[in-house]
Amino acid sequence: MQSERLEKMNEELRAITLEHTPELGTFPTIIPGLSLSRREQGNCEGASIYSTSLAFIVDGQKRSVIGDKEYVYGKNHCLVVGVDVPATFCTIGATHEHPFLSLAVEIDRSVLSDLIMQLEEIHGLPEKPVNEALCVGQVDDDVWEAVLRLMRLLDKPVEAKVLAPMIIREIYFRVLQSPLGTSLREFNAKQGASAQIAKAIAWLRENYASPLSVSELADNVHMGVSTFHRHFKEVTCMTPLQFHKSLRLHEAKRLMLTQKMDATTACYAVGYESPSQFNREYKRQFGLPPYRDIKQQRGLGRESFMSMQ
């Protein structure tokens, strides 16, 4: 049962989010790393690369699919995205009167790592061998209170410059102290299986257009091939090859939407050598061939929707 305090905070968060999202889409704010999303019938579905972040659902429900795993979450849930991962998603029952509303705080790894080291020195933190890329659950009222204080700064640009970094650090701290904190910590640790997979994914994000050798990538993060393959799938719900292909296809879609590339140019830009193979795999991933999919997306005004959560 929701506390009365949480319900009051949610009402204020909803009002602030609606005020700062007059249109459908996902938008940056005056606070670096903080973005707001509003979705209704017109943009209820999409595909993007979820970036490393904390997301907080203000209203509505959403379904996200990563690899072969589905996540359903809604109002007052927090999502921890531990590593960048391709995903497809759709909102559930969002309407103009009751849109899906969320906010996302991009994770600053240097700030987070410093905080984790401090906490480990004080009392240590529980360990878990491997975590999934996305973790979702409830957080306590103190987390939401910090989120609300951050959102109140959107109309106070001078205060935001000074106070926002401190409040974001507090949000990290409070989430680290919650059951979701294990995932947040392990992907940002200096060692451990989750940290090794995080390094591999970071390499793939930077080198998606290059051919992939799973054995070389496993060697780069100091893991045996079979162990690497098993841990990678536990984290991403995909094999390394599936992940690599999905990264390429998502990036190609982004290039066609935001940079107006044609399908053939995008195909070569992301590392494909065969346009026919690209077209087949694109249709398998997104349900339509590139030209038809991008035409439909532009008709719905989705160029600004290629962002996470």
Do the Cβ atoms of 10 and 58 come closer than 8 Å? Answer: yes
Gap between the Cα atoms of 299 and 277, Å rounded? 26
Section 197-216 average pLDDT? 95
Could you tell me whether strands 61-66 and 85-92 are parallel, antiparallel, or unpaired per DSSP bridges?
Answer: antiparallel
90-111 residue pLDDT tens: 999 999 899 999 999 999 999 9
CATH architecture for segment(s) 4-186 = Sandwich (2.60)
- Indicate if the pLDDT at residue 129 is higher than 90: no
Residue type at 196? Q
pLDDT of residue 303: 47
Closest to 143 in 3D by CA, of 133, 153, 151, 135: 151
- Structural domain boundaries of the chain? 4-186
| Three-state SS annotation for 120-160 | HHHCCCCCCCCCCCEEEEECCHHHHHHHHHHHHHHHCHHHH
Q: Taking the chain, what is the end-to-end CA distance rounded to the nearest angstrom?
A: 25
CB 35 within 8 A of CB 26: yes
Question: Which helix H or strand E contains 10, and what residues bound it?
Answer: helix 4-19
Q: Could you tell me the pLDDT band of residue 46, with boundaries at 50, 70 and 90? A: confident
| Cβ atoms of 76 and 101 closer than 8 Å | no
Averaged confidence pLDDT in the chain: 90
| Interval 235-248: pLDDT, tens | 999 999 999 999 99
Percentage of the chain beyond pLDDT 70 is 93
Answer whether residue 305 shows pLDDT above 50. no
What secondary structure letter does DSSP report for 208?
T
Length of the chain: 309
Q: Considering only 58-62, 78-82, 190-194, 286-290, which range has the smallest mean pLDDT?
A: 190-194
Beta bridge partners of 88: 47, 65
